Structure 1
Amino acid sequence: MKSFPVDGGHSVSLALYSDVSNSRELLDLMQSGTLEPEVAFLNASLITESLKRCGISGDTTYILAARFDASDEEMKAVEKLISGAEIDLGELESRANQPQILKHYKISPQELLVSTLPDAIVCRIAARDAL
């Protein structure tokens, strides 16, 4: 788990998990409003897309957990909720589902010859926002 400062003196805490076996249970807790502590679960293989699709599905095995202004106790409680292995956040980029990302953003192999994947994604998002 890592915490990062955000504006206004707040922070966001993130933890990345692989081999998660109880995503259906986590999804049910979120949808019923009984998840304690409240935390956002995102499919880490498609982070932007998972925000649009309300986080995780019942078969998600790679999860990014996020909470604003979390205490150490709250993040320990989140860790106990998830049946999976916490891994370093640095693995997020290398474990992303690149073929699905390429398809979603319509990035061609030729474009990657002159640009990086993150740059191509940022370009798509910026162009969409400008329209």
Structure 2
Amino acid sequence: MSNNPVDFNVLSTLRDVMEAEYPALLKVFISDSVNRVNDMTLLLRDPSFTAASLQRLGLMAHSFKGSTGNMGATHLSELCLQLEEQGRGSVAADDALIRLLVSEIKEEFCAVRKVFEDELQLCHASH
């Protein structure tokens, strides 16, 4: 898990740009991310995990990489990139690494989620 799960400069910019919609953006990101992490975990647990499943996992990671990057969750975005590379075959697929990456993504998302939930509390306290 990274020491700084979120780049606060990115959050500050989002806060300025989104204004009143900023809390909604945080809520949507959290909700969407919970679903993405759960979907990755379930896919990996599927006993019939195949090369096609790995490709799908890579596409999930690609999509998640974009949203986490946009939200300033830099380390989480980097983990997603590594998983994406496993899924698209740009590196030799490594089952242990794939499982480790999904576990690290879950752990890092927990840290990111905490930061965003704290942000939501600050938003509610200031209104």
Give the TM-score normalised by the residue count of structure 2. Answer: 0.26
Q: Tell me which of the two structures has the higher relative contact order, counting C-alpha pairs closer than 8 angstroms and 6 or more residues apart.
A: 2
Give the TM-score normalised by the residue count of structure 1. Answer: 0.26
Between structures 1 and 2, the one with greater strand share: 1
